[in-house]
Structure 1
Amino acid sequence: MKEKLWTKEFMIVSTINFIITLIFFLLMVTIASYAKTEYGASTSTAGLVSSIFIIGSLIGRLGAGRIISDVGTKKTLWAGLLFFAVTSILYFFAFNLSLLIVNRLLQGIAVGIASTANGTIIAQILPKTRKGEGIGYYSLSAILATAVGPFIGILLMKFENGFQWIFALNVMFSIVCLIIYVAVKIDVPINKSNITQEEKGSFLSKFIEPKAVPISLIALLIGFSYSGVMSFLSFYAEEINLVSAASYFFLIYAIVIIFSRPFTGKLMDTRGANIVAYPCLVIFAVGMFLFSQATAGWMLLVAAAFIGLGYGNFNSIAQTVAVKVTPPHRFGLATSTYFILYDIGLGVGPFLLGFFVPTTGYRPIFVSMIVIILCCVPLYHWLHGRKDKELLRAS
């Protein structure tokens, strides 16, 4: 008989993840416009207002793993959600551009702490034999939020005092997270006896889980490869005259992930990560090739399907691997390690690739990403794939 997956705790924690991610994307697509409209910020400064949130998130993730090890997952999530609610309210008191930037940084830290603790709780409460499937379902909450958040944000901007409505919704959702979190009853003890002398003596191991680093490095490269699609799609679509088709890109991407995630998660639990990871990397490369060569709307949308199937599922599998290779008492550090490196790939990618756009255009940049993705196949094998059978037997 299968162990139960859809518990009340699982559904509540997944809902919190959905809300946090929704607010993240809702503000990411609107806050730069707010900075320009309200404070007359330059384009570069408005970009800083938007992106400094990610820097804060990295800071929060870096500290969250250590906090979880010291005080436990549930208290850490409480702290993150309270901090998140406070910074949501402070948008109404950001009377100048400097205060807005500081609050964006602080809210990023809050989200980094809350989302890391949230992901760690999921790793702790999922049955050992269904971790791949469970994390696959859990990550779907973020996929849905990436589609819903920007839609709500753009819709509210059309209203009179639209930004005030956005900030009010931010506060309301943050309070909802606190209210529903009261219903979560999990008791994962802090097992400090498992902290070895090596961990006590190593400064780095207090913030980073070494066993999760190999698969997280692959996630960094994969995130870097995808970051150009995420950031440059609208500009690329204008260049190749496929703006109409591009408006459906992320919808197709999300639909493919939603329908494929449950199957890939189950497959990983029963057959190991390799049977999913290798095909996903190849499929992602094929999707990137179609994306780079698109000359018609159908090619762009087929590319969206391939990228969703490949990149979207590899991301979930890699996150599960990061947890599975780690002792339970360091799940928090493993989760934060994975997302720190993954977020670095997503965040640094557009900045670095943007330097080449004026001289090369978009197509050559996306072609070069195919090379990086294909290089990840032997790199994955060397860093994890050759040891995956041992991990499957151990589980």
Structure 2
Amino acid sequence: MEKEQLWTKDFIITSVVNFFMMFAVFLLLVTMAPYATETFQASSSIAGLSASIFIIGVLCGRLFAGRAITKTGNKKILMFGLVLYIVTTLLYFAAISLPALIAVRVIHGIGVGLATTAASTMVAQMVPASRKGEGISFFTLSMVLPTAVGPLVAILLTQYVHYNAVFLLSLLLGVISLVISIQTRDVQPAVNTKDTAQQPFSLSNYFEKGSLPIALVAMVVGLAYSSVLSLLTVYAEAINLVTAATFFYLVYSITVLSTRPFSGRLTDKKGANIIIYPSLVFFAGGMLLLSQAQYSWMMLLAAFCIGLGYGNFQPITQTIAIKRTSSERMSLAISTYYVFLDFGLGIGPFLLGLLVPFTGYRGLYLTTVIIILFGAICYFWIHGRKDKTFHQRYAAETAS
């Protein structure tokens, strides 16, 4: 039986657009705090807020994107999000005060939240059902690569050029994304004839209950991963492994790049459990190793294990969220999944940071091992114990 086509023009363009958006996100995420400090003499806490407040905008964008996509279509929301992204990127040049900069960050986040949710929904709808896991795994590479490339480019630009170069590059990425996204075809499923507009206060208009359980699992495990995103640099400085930390995300990205295509295909054939359980074991092992790192090789080995673990856990749980809902509510399923995942990634640094005065950074990373094990138990009760039956039923439905 011939495989259904995955690498279509629309799939490639949408993946490139998502890559450019996430590239710009990490460009600005890394540079915003020092920019606020140097330009507006912001305190360390306010400078951190100028960087992290972006996630509030993203959450708002994702929250309303699902319903908006259902009503107006993917492409319109994608284009609107990109236009909003371009306009707010221009406003970085005009932000002459700290409150103005923070406001721009929030609106910018809304644009990114709308655009990336629409892109994810388009891909989920265009990927053949029989290759859903493989397609989502490939697409989510467009979110992984920027974590390695974005910070590196941002640091080079700020060191050798100027902060304005970061803003210009972000603007260019947005304009290119808008131009090439015009060529995409809007993939919109048949919409349920029930008029959701008559129920404006119903939570079901904003959240998909079918994807909510696995989204909660992603939130818990994402909470643990947030410590890597936000606290690794400070931890590396404390244990004198700064050089190793600069290569951490490179090792992580290479590991994810080399394993995700296989994990996606295996999920399509055997179900999610064959990937999820080993990935959580590797993730917990990587965080344990990170907590005890005394040499560079230990930190880089931890990056490898975390890449095998969290790097494969995330796209497979997203695939589960998509498979557990009907096609007409797929946009809501994706926005629900990302709202909770982003919330875990966003609130994690704050909650875990509260532990540092009591446990130190090593104790903090040990604590994340417990969080991951709790996430594994949640996964088992929510989905894992029913995965074999679910996979067989889904395979039968897509084959018919």
Number of the residue aligned with 1:239: 238
Conserved in 2, the CA contact under 8 Å of 1:216 and 1:338?
Answer: yes
Does the 8 A contact of 1:74 with 1:117 survive in 2? Answer: yes
Matches within 5 A, 1:276-291: 276-291=275-290
Q: What is the letter of the counterpart of residue 348 of structure 2?
A: G
Match of 1:363 in 2: 362
Please say if residues 71 and 190 of structure 1, whose CA atoms lie closer than 8 Å, have aligned partners that are also in contact: no
In 1, the alpha carbon distance for the partners of 2:195 and 2:320 equals 22
**Helix, strand or coil: the match of 2:211?**
helix
The SS at the match of 1:155 is helix
Structure 1: distance between partners of 2:382 and 2:144: 27
User: Structure 1, residues 4-55: CA drift from partner, whole Å, max 9, x if none?
Assistant: 1111100100000100000000000111111111122121111111111001
CA separation in 2, counterparts of 1:158 and 1:242?
21
Aligned equivalents of 1:247, 1:152: Cα separation in 2: 13
Match in the other structure for 1:153? 154
> Quick check: 352-361 or 199-208, which moved more?
199-208
1:39 and 1:68, CA in 2 relative to 1: closer, same or farther beyond 3 A? Answer: same
SS of residue in 2 equivalent to 1:6 = coil
8 Å contact kept, 1:9–1:186: no
CA gap 1:14/1:159 in 2 versus in 1, 3 angstroms: same
* CA drift at 1:394: 2.6
The Cα of 1:389 is off from its aligned counterpart by: 2.1
CA distance in 2, matches of 1:320, 1:254: 20
**What is the alpha-carbon distance in structure 1 between the residues aligned to residue 245 and residue 171 of structure 2?**
32
Native 8 Å contact 2:122 2:187 kept in 1: no
Whether contact under 8 Å (1:69, 1:190) holds in the other structure is no
Kindly state the Cα deviation for residue 202 of structure 1 after the two structures are TM-superposed: 6.7
- Whether the aligned pair in 2 keeps the contact of 1:65 and 1:336 (CA below 8 Å) is yes
What's 1:18 paired with? Answer: 19
Is the Cα–Cα contact under 8 Å of residues 5 and 134 in structure 1 kept in the other structure? yes
Q: Which amino acid aligns with 2:256?
A: I
2: CA distance, partners of 1:39 / 1:328: 48
Question: Match of 1:8?
Answer: 9
Displacement, 1:159? 3.2
Cα distance change on mapping 1:55 and 1:354 into 2, 3 Å: same
Separation in 2, partners of 1:173, 1:200: 38
Query: How many Å apart are 1:200 and its aligned residue?
Result: 4.6
The answer (yes or no) to whether the contact 2:50–2:101 under 8 Å persists in 1 is yes
Superposed counterparts of 1:133-152, under 5 Å: 133-152=134-153
RMSD: 1.6
SS of the residue corresponding to residue 102 of structure 1 reads helix
Partner of 2:300: 301
Could you report, residue by residue, the CA deviation over 1:291-315 in whole angstroms, capped at 9, with x for unpaired residues?
1111221111111111110111000
**Code of the aligned partner of 2:379:** Y
Corresponding residue of 1:172: 172
What CA distance in whole angstroms lies between the structure 2 residues aligned with 1:373 and 1:187? 36
What is aligned with 2:77? 76
User: Mean Cα displacement is larger for which, 372-381 or 246-255?
Assistant: 372-381
User: Does 1:34 pair with 2:35?
Assistant: yes
After alignment, is 359-368 or 200-209 more displaced?
200-209
- In the alignment, the residues of structure 2 paired with residue 201 and residue 159 of structure 1 have an alpha-carbon distance, to the nearest angstrom, of 51
Aligned residues: 393
- How far did 1:196 drift? 8.2
Deviating more after overlay: 337-346 vs 294-303: 294-303
Per-residue CA deviation, residues 105-129 of structure 1 (Å, 9 max, x unaligned), is 0000110111111100010000000
Aligned to 1:102: 103
Aligned to 1:212: 211
Contact 2:74 2:186 in 1 (8 A): no
Q: How do 1:85-100 and structure 2 match up within 5 A? A: 85-100=86-101
Q: Is the 8 A contact 2:74 2:187 kept in 1?
A: no
Q: 1:220-248: CA deviations, max 9, x gaps?
A: 11111111122111221222222222221
Amino acid at match of 2:329: R
Cα separation, partners in 2 of 1:7 and 1:97, compared to 1, 3 Å: same
TM (normalized to structure 1)?
Answer: 0.96
Unaligned runs of 5+ residues in structure 2 are 395-400
Structure 1 window deviating more from structure 2 (250-259 vs 350-359): it is 350-359
Give yes or no for contact 1:72–1:190 (8 Å, CA) kept in 2.
no
C-alpha separation in 1, matches of 2:200 and 2:44: 46
**Aligned 8 A contact 2:73 2:186 in 1:** no
Aligned residue in 2 for 1:348: 347
* Counterpart position of 1:331: 330
**2:269 alignment partner in structure 1:** 270
* Offset of residue 274 of structure 1: 0.9
Q: CA deviation at 1:90?
A: 1.3
Deviation, structure 1 residue 186: 3.3
Q: Distance in 1 between matches of 2:186 and 2:3?
A: 20
- Opposite residue 141 of structure 1, the aligned amino acid is S
Aligned-partner SS, 1:210? coil
2: distance between equivalents of 1:141 and 1:62? Answer: 21
* Range 14-23 or range 279-288, more displaced: 279-288
In structure 1, the residue matched to 2:376 is 377
Counting aligned pairs with the same residue, the percent is 48
TM-score normalised by L of structure 2:
0.95
Kept in 2, the 8 Å contact 1:91–1:100? The answer is: yes
Structure 1: give runs of 5+ residues left out of the alignment: none
Match of 2:391 in 1: 392
Partner of 1:66: 67
**Other-structure match for 1:181:** 181
Local SS of the residue matching 1:21 = helix
